[in-house]
Structure 1
């Protein structure tokens, strides 16, 4: 029986996959502690794990989420501002919570949300006894590569030598100029925490982990000839099954002959439903499709348009129940929702402009499994046209089904459990070897 610490930020896209991992580890007999916000207390108890409550100062503060203001900043600039505000500011408070947890109990390994920057002072400082680290990314792979443009530009992978050279120049510009402020903020905070500055660019922090877990399949991520050996694609980490869902009265209509279109703005960027949900409802009001809109917890009464007869609106609809009935999903590009749709063979219309969503949309387009509208505020006409193209051009469905088959060959939760065993075994072998010194974690990863 191993003792595992899991640290996750509170937004559903960060916490829910790791709660599924926690449940699996508990079920196989491991002792698991989940460090996350108080909103997940009941869920943590339900999976049988101990809850280390993450205080507000150590958590991601996404309120107020001003999507329009964020979208006004483009690409890498928006990413830099988001990294500082959402992920760097909580760093010292997260470090304190991690130190308290590690001092209170021995852990054989820890699985840490990629955005949980509080782990950096531990692995770059003099704090001893840091267990093997598995970093879990809830976004497309952020690591820089000779084959890709810098994160935030939403460009496809390079196919030519000239394009690789251009991307190399853009990566240097991104790291040395556009993300310079975020890098300097991180280094200042690390020094204040008694740690060394980052030996890698900030978004490459996954290089410092023993394993970097990517919850997708290789065919949905850009090919990289320089992919580090410790990166592991595990497939989709499916949310825990929802056993409390009560089917609404209209549920049976989804099993008829009419196509079903699902629209969602996720659980974070959903304060203004006029960005995507309202345009989609308007776009398809006179179509033969049934529209299922989920508001991600927002009161459906905040919708400012009449609801047509072919549309049903709910705060939450569990994807494990809904997606098998869906023909097209319209989304703002949340990474987890896109993975679940593709794992169900559902082609996608993506309209996202904040955080990692343009990168998610670009990968949907590159994989041929959907249409990237390249805006976070599409018009009803744009949505209508995109849905019609997906329904009439079977290439999108074929590519979505191809990805579905790739996802079906992997069990993300089980593969993560195997990686936990792998790093624990490696640490045990290393600690027993009298012929080897044990360099710090950062040095080991950079040397490899």
Structure 2
């Protein structure tokens, strides 16, 4: 039996995939503790493990970032992304270090596993206070690479010689211009612990890095760290009793395409996507199912739409023909793992990067706006429904996801790290596989 400490920000999209790994580790007989926000205490304890509360770290409510972080609401696009990188993630590192050190005084884990925004654990690993360190990603592959544009800029790759030069210039610009303030903040926080400056990037580990997806949804690259493993999806399993809405039979017995409209757990202003989508599809021969996350919708609901606060996606996805979303990584992954093509409309957080992957893989359309017009949504949905290539490619991705068991693969790799305390390296470079053949000619 090994001891594992799982560390996440108090963010639903970070905690949910972690819980799937936690459940599998417990099932395999290990001792697990989870360090995260008080909001998730019941969920952690329901998984059968010890909850470690945030004490020094800022335990904010992820249902209202703008309230939790004053000044954020006035920012849009890349400026909001820079704010999040700095205030939500980088500035939290010293607080995380203090809390983890307090835990280590009475309990020593064999492995510390954290999300890719949890810089405090990375600091302690560099300081030699964590022996075996792993990271589980919660979004698209955002690690720096000479082959693709820097993460956060929302740019598609260009593998031509000119594209390679452009990547180099973009990397310089991202570090020294676009994310200059983020790098300054990171330098300042690292200096508090005697650590040398490093350019900002998602937290990674050269011992073990778990990517919860498949290569075919990612940009090929020649310089992926050898500790990176594609493990398939970490899809939250709904454990409660599902009480279907009164109109559920209309979904399961639908003779017309079912279109799911959802905005995930962070950017939940219905005026940005849900309401325009309902308007866009009001006169189309489809059944629209909108999930609101519990917030009431302003205005009438069209006759062909059904609205619910929440429906377990594992129950809903088998009946869906296309999902309209603002590009939350978790929802998009669930859709693609079920062979459902996607229409994305989102420009906050990691959503531009997610939308670009959808378009790059040919499994949907990226509207490239946070506030799409009804006519844009209508045209995109009709295109996806009418052009079978979107669904065909989504089905191929579904087959690739089906070859994996994400929680089990994660647990096996973590067990190896706990036993050996040595880097767990990937013997098969993922972008040399047939799954990525034909997508790009990788540079030599």
Q: Fold-level match, TM-score > 0.5?
A: yes
Q: Superposed, which structure 2 residues align to 1:10-409 within 5 Å? A: 10-55=10-55, 57-59=57-59, 62=62, 63-65=64-66, 73-75=76-78, 77-125=79-127, 128=129, 130-192=130-192, 194-198=193-197, 200-203=198-201, 205-206=203-204, 208-255=205-252, 256-270=254-268, 272-298=269-295, 300=296, 303-409=297-403
Partner SS, residue 150 of structure 2: coil
The CA deviation string for residues 146-193 of structure 1, in whole angstroms up to 9 with x for no partner, is 11011122222222111111111111111122222211211211222x
State the 1:316 CA deviation. 1.2
- Cα distance in 1 for partners of 2:223, 2:37 equals 36
Unaligned runs of 5+ in 2: 425-444
Higher helix share: 1
- Cα distance in 2 for partners of 1:267, 1:73 equals 18
- Cα distance in 1 for partners of 2:77, 2:329 equals 19
Aligned residues: 420
CA distance change for structure 1 residues 238 and 204 in 2, over 3 Å: closer, same or farther? closer
- Cα distance in 1 for partners of 2:89, 2:222 equals 29
Note if contact 1:58-1:91 (Cα within 8 Å) is conserved in structure 2: no
State the 1:242 CA deviation. 3.0
- Cα distance in 1 for partners of 2:396, 2:48 equals 36
Aligned residue in 2 for 1:441: none
- Cα distance in 2 for partners of 1:185, 1:153 equals 19
Note if contact 2:337-2:402 (Cα within 8 Å) is conserved in structure 1: yes
The CA deviation string for residues 271-302 of structure 1, in whole angstroms up to 9 with x for no partner, is x210000001111111121111111232x2xx
Partner SS, residue 421 of structure 2: helix
State the 1:71 CA deviation. 8.9
State the 1:364 CA deviation. 0.1
CA distance change for structure 1 residues 261 and 204 in 2, over 3 Å: closer, same or farther? closer
Aligned residue in 1 for 2:431: none
- Cα distance in 1 for partners of 2:120, 2:418 equals 22
Give the TM-score normalised by the residue count of structure 1: 0.89
Note if contact 1:3-1:31 (Cα within 8 Å) is conserved in structure 2: yes
Partner SS, residue 58 of structure 1: coil
The CA deviation string for residues 289-347 of structure 1, in whole angstroms up to 9 with x for no partner, is 1111111232x2xx222112221111111111111111110000001110110000000
Unaligned runs of 5+ in 1: 431-448
Note if contact 2:136-2:209 (Cα within 8 Å) is conserved in structure 1: yes
Partner SS, residue 66 of structure 2: coil
The CA deviation string for residues 417-442 of structure 1, in whole angstroms up to 9 with x for no partner, is 01101212321799xxxxxxxxxxxx
Which range is displaced more, 408-417 or 303-312? 303-312
- Cα distance in 1 for partners of 2:156, 2:60 equals 29
Partner SS, residue 65 of structure 1: helix
State the 1:267 CA deviation. 1.0
- Cα distance in 2 for partners of 1:209, 1:32 equals 22
State the 1:69 CA deviation. 6.6
Aligned residue in 2 for 1:438: none
- Cα distance in 2 for partners of 1:23, 1:319 equals 19
The CA deviation string for residues 61-111 of structure 1, in whole angstroms up to 9 with x for no partner, is 643438997695444x44322201110222211111111122221211111
Note if contact 1:222-1:363 (Cα within 8 Å) is conserved in structure 2: yes
Partner SS, residue 131 of structure 1: coil
Give the TM-score normalised by the residue count of structure 2: 0.90
- Cα distance in 2 for partners of 1:140, 1:294 equals 24
